[in-house]
């Protein structure tokens, strides 16, 4: 194998030989992009309706992100948390002012943000039990994994952090029964992502706040997937008006670079002291500079996210599907058949989408996605679903009837 060979076959063979087999990757080789478009190694174009799993919210090669990256990388790439640098404080102030929380802590990823939240909750309450939801996803490190409501993810790594109770999403009675005087924190995703795009009801969120207050537990909202504009609000909790004690963020925050954050409210004031927690890379100055751009652009795009989302919901509900759930630009389309073969057909037709659980197509497009992209996607999905076999067909055949609609990939290169 030639080390300079970057053809798709060589890339796959090299990974197969040398990387730990953590991923069952889709045979798709994106190499370039512009806006909501991706192009693969053969120059074929796709609409990117997944955005690197909710990361690339400003699309690819956003001019402001590119400029901020050039400027920030012309000074220091890394400083460490031993010393001061302006970038963390600037982004921290923006996040605090926008959320109404009190302080920010920066890390590198979603799972790390939840680890920090877990430690902070233990420090603040001096309690250890936790309540989370069935089908939740909070990350892969041992603490966050302990809160993740998928048995298949947790079981190979048992024993995990003890004292976690899982309740069904939106089941107020089960939540009230599970939270007691020993509960340190309730962890919720206001809109559950990996669990199949399940919005938590206002009633459930209010109940969580009420029961947390009653038992002196903390309420933690994991907004790693649903936060930072995704649902049409800068923070998903702003729709219900239920204020948590801690918010965790990551995915889009660093503009594509690794960056996570924990926002803490009044209940955490004075609790976390030097030495309790820390990270070498967290709050990297370049990632924070990009984060400031992401936040400013996202605030500007909120009306567009809401308008597109409302239109998309109406249109998607016209398709022969089981359910359409979500808000803003976070949508789950539940099918009557496995979603993975349908996602493969969509890819062959030029649409990058995700899946969640067995039968849900998951859309997390960039906030700059044009209506045309979503409209073409809905047409393509309609064609695929109208096929009689109900099981989808291999990706290579996906372009067949879609070609008639002019939806096959074109060869135009991403600018
Ligand atoms: C809601 C939620 N929490 C936590 C995580 C973990 O984030 P990361 O993969 O950055 O560790 C994810 C990732 O998908 C997520 O969707």
106 and 48, same domain (yes or no): no
What CATH number does the domain containing 166 carry?
A: 3.40.640.10
| Ligand 1 pocket mutation, candidates 52, 112, 139, 142, criterion most atoms within 8 A of CB | 139
Asked whether 349 and 376 are in contact (CB, 8 A), the reply is no
* pLDDT in single tens digits along all 415 residues of the chain: 667 899 999 999 999 999 999 999 999 999 999 999 999 999 999 999 999 999 999 999 999 999 999 999 999 999 999 999 999 999 999 999 999 999 999 999 999 999 999 999 999 999 999 999 999 999 999 999 999 999 999 999 999 999 999 999 999 999 999 999 999 999 999 999 999 999 999 999 999 999 999 999 999 999 999 999 999 999 999 999 999 999 999 999 999 999 999 999 999 999 999 999 999 999 999 999 999 999 999 999 999 999 999 999 999 999 999 999 999 999 999 999 999 999 999 999 999 999 999 999 999 999 999 999 999 999 999 999 998 554 444 433 333 344 433 444 444 433 3
54 and 152, same domain (yes or no): no
User: Would residue 24 count as lying in a domain?
Assistant: yes
What CATH number does the domain containing 372 carry?
A: 3.90.1150.10
Residues 80 and 238: their CA atoms lie apart, in Å, by 33
| Ligand 1 pocket mutation, candidates 225, 254, 357, criterion most atoms within 8 A of CB | 225
Residues 308 and 363: their CA atoms lie apart, in Å, by 13
Task: State the Cα angle at 184 between 91 and 101, rounded to 5°.
Answer: 25
Residues 376 and 380: their CA atoms lie apart, in Å, by 6
Question: Residue 218's beta-bridge partner residues?
Answer: 185
**Position in ligand 1 atom list of the atom nearest CA 251:** 10
Provide the domain count of the chain: 2
User: Would residue 324 count as lying in a domain?
Assistant: no
Segments forming the whole domain that contains residue 224: 76-296
Asked whether 292 and 275 are in contact (CB, 8 A), the reply is no
User: Would residue 235 count as lying in a domain?
Assistant: yes
177 and 288, same domain (yes or no): yes
- The closest residue, in CA terms, to atom 4 on ligand 1 is 138
Half-sphere exposure of 369 (CA within 13 A, CB side): 34
User: Would residue 198 count as lying in a domain?
Assistant: yes
Residue 219 to residues 75, 86, 92, 332: CA-CA distances in angstroms?
39, 30, 21, 25
User: Would residue 303 count as lying in a domain?
Assistant: no
Q: List all residues whose CB is within 6 A of at least one atom of ligand 1.
A: 109-111, 114, 137-139, 189, 193-194, 222, 224-225, 250
User: Would residue 326 count as lying in a domain?
Assistant: no
Residues 297 and 57: their CA atoms lie apart, in Å, by 9
Taking the CA atoms of 352, 49, 338 and 156 in sequence, report the sign of the dihedral they define. Answer: positive
296, 319, 344 — which closes off a domain?
A: 296
């Amino acid at each position: 194998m030639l080390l300079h060979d970057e053809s798709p076959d060589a890339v796959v063979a090299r990974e197969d030989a040398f990387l730990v087999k953590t991923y069952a990757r889709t045979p798709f080789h994106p190499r370039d992009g512009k806006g909501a478009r991706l192009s693969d190694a053969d120059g074929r174009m796709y609409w990117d309706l997944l955005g690197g799993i909710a990361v690339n919210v400003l699309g690819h090669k956003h001019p402001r992100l590119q400029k901020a990256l050039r400027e920030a990388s012309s000074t220091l790439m890394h400083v460490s948390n031993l010393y001061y640098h302006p970038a963390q404080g600037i982004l921290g102030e923006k996040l605090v002012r926008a959320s109404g929380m009190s302080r920010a802590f920066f890390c590198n990823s979603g799972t790390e943000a939840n680890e920090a939240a877990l430690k902070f909750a233990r420090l603040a309450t001096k309690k250890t039990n936790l309540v989370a939801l069935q089908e939740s996803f909070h990350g892969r490190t041992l603490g966050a994994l302990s809160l993740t409501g998928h048995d298949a993810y947790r079981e190979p790594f048992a024993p995990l952090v003890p004292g976690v109770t899982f309740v069904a999403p939106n089941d107020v009675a089960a939540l009230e029964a599970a939270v007691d005087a020993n509960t340190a924190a309730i962890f919720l995703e206001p809109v559950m992502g990996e669990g199949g795009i399940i919005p938590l009801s206002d009633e459930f969120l209010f109940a969580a706040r009420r029961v947390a207050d009653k038992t002196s537990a903390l309420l933690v909202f994991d907004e790693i997937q649903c936060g930072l504009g995704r649902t049409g609000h800068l923070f998903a909790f702003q729709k219900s008006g239920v204020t948590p004690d801690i918010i965790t963020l990551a995915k889009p925050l660093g503009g594509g670079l690794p960056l996570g954050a924990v926002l803490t409210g009044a209940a955490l004031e004075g609790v976390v002291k030097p030495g309790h927690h820390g990270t070498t890379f967290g709050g990297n100055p370049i990632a924070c500079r990009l984060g400031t751009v992401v936040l400013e652009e996202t605030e500007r795009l909120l009306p567009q996210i809401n308008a597109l989302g409302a239109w998309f919901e109406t249109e998607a509900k016209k398709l022969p599907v089981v359910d359409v759930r979500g808000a803003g630009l976070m949508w789950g389309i539940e099918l009557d058949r496995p979603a993975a073969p349908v996602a493969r057909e969509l890819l062959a037709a030029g649409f990058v989408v995700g899946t969640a659980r067995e039968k849900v197509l998951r859309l997390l497009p960039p906030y700059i996605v044009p209506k045309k992209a979503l409209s073409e996607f809905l047409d393509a999905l309609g064609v695929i679903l109208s096929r009689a076999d109900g099981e989808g067909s291999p990706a290579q055949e996906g372009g067949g009837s879609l070609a008639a609609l002019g939806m096959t990939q074109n060869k135009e290169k991403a600018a």
